[in-house]
């Protein structure tokens, strides 16, 4: 393994197996050909041609469009393509910050290849010798995604109806027992993006990144059952683990690599440095 291997894995995809999902001149996502051919039978609001998936002109407003996607989501449960719906909804938008055109259940985002957004918080401690340590979460073994894998201290998808700041406060409390006052000290430091083909479909994700410097006596406490335990690791240990293992949730590798670049641990002396830096933001 290498740092670059993780970035390449998160960007492996072949769009020839998909057709665009479009609306009002905007490309909103990508749907596998087999699913695309089934959609008109699921809801007549879908219009499918050889080169795209769209919605019928009479499906005009937010609720009507969302209803068509909801029927598709239920179909995917009934056909066991997904185990269950999440009841948490993501916006479907032509761009970040644009008015949502419809909503989609989180469980079927990859099947429609719509861009999804989330936030990741690097909880770090500055040691007396000047070195940095990161709080690492071990994901619970009963998680559907990446059970038992290593994770950031705080991470979560960005649902419809919440600002990033509101979602940060919510996720900080649920995942690490951090109150709003402390969460507000998290500093936005950029984003990483990737496009990854999975068994479910296509993940087109943007992760907004935050750094939160914590006191040496702080210990996070999980409250929602997602994390089995937290450990404070020196950055050298974090880097070695990312470089040499597959122990981390797939996209967290990218977040940690970005942290190491920004804090000067990963330098231009790394042979793949330029490709790493470019690869974090496709």
- CATH number (domain holding residue 169): 3.90.79.10
In this structure, are 137 and 200 located in the same domain? yes
In this structure, are 66 and 125 located in the same domain? no
> Quick one: pLDDT at residue 144?
81
Condensed to tens digits (0 to 9), the pLDDT of residues 187-244 reads 999 999 999 999 999 999 999 999 999 999 999 999 888 899 999 999 999 999 999 9
In this structure, are 202 and 66 located in the same domain? no
Domain boundary among 112, 128, 146: 112
Is the predicted pLDDT of residue 145 greater than 90, yes or no? no
Domain boundary among 112, 133, 165: 112
Which pTM value belongs to this model? 0.96
- Count the domains in the chain: 2
Q: Work out the pLDDT band at 158, boundaries 50, 70, 90.
A: very high
**Tokens 């039978």 — which residue?**
41
In this structure, are 126 and 258 located in the same domain? yes
In this structure, are 98 and 176 located in the same domain? no
In this structure, are 164 and 274 located in the same domain? yes
Here the CATH number for the domain that contains residue 51 is 3.30.750.160
In this structure, are 138 and 68 located in the same domain? no
Is the predicted pLDDT of residue 146 greater than 90, yes or no? no
In this structure, are 228 and 274 located in the same domain? yes
In this structure, are 226 and 101 located in the same domain? no
Angle at 145 between CA 144 and CA 146, to 5 degrees: 120
Name 32's Cβ contacts closer than 8 Å, sequence gap at least 6.
17, 18, 111, 201
In this structure, are 67 and 165 located in the same domain? no
* Three-class SS state of 187: strand
Q: Are 115 and 198 in contact (CB under 8 A)?
A: no
Domain around 104: 15-112
Q: Work out the pLDDT band at 117, boundaries 50, 70, 90.
A: very high
In this structure, are 24 and 101 located in the same domain? yes
Domain boundary among 63, 93, 112: 112
Q: Work out the pLDDT band at 16, boundaries 50, 70, 90.
A: very high
């Amino acid at each position: 393994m290498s740092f670059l291997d993780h970035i390449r894995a998160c960007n492996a995809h072949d769009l020839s197996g998909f057709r665009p999902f479009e609306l009002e001149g905007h490309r909103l996502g990508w749907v596998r050909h087999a699913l695309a051919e089934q959609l008109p039978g699921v809801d007549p609001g879908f219009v499918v041609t050889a080169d795209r998936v769209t919605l019928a002109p009479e499906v005009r407003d937010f609720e009507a469009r969302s209803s068509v996607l909801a029927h598709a989501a239920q179909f995917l449960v009934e056909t066991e393509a997904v185990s269950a719906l999440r009841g948490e909804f993501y916006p479907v938008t032509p761009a970040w910050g644009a008015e949502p055109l419809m909503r989609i259940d989180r469980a079927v985002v990859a099947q429609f290849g719509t861009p999804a957004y989330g936030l990741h918080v690097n909880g770090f401690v500055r040691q007396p010798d000047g070195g940095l340590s990161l709080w690492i979460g071990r994901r619970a073994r009963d998680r559907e995604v990446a059970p038992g894998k290593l994770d950031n201290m705080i991470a979560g998808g960005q649902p419809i109806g919440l600002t990033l700041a509101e979602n940060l406060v919510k996720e900080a409390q649920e995942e690490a027992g951090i109150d709003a006052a402390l969460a507000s000290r998290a500093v936005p430091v950029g984003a990483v993006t990737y496009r990854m083909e999975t068994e479910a479909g296509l993940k087109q994700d943007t992760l907004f990144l935050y750094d939160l410097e914590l006191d040496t006596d702080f210990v996070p406490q999980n409250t929602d059952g997602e994390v089995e335990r937290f450990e404070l690791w020196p950055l050298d240990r974090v880097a070695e683990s990312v470089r040499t293992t597959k122990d981390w949730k797939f996209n967290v590798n990218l977040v940690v690599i970005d942290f190491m670049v920004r804090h000067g641990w990963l330098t231009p002396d790394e042979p793949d440095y330029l490709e790493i830096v470019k690869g974090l933001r496709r």
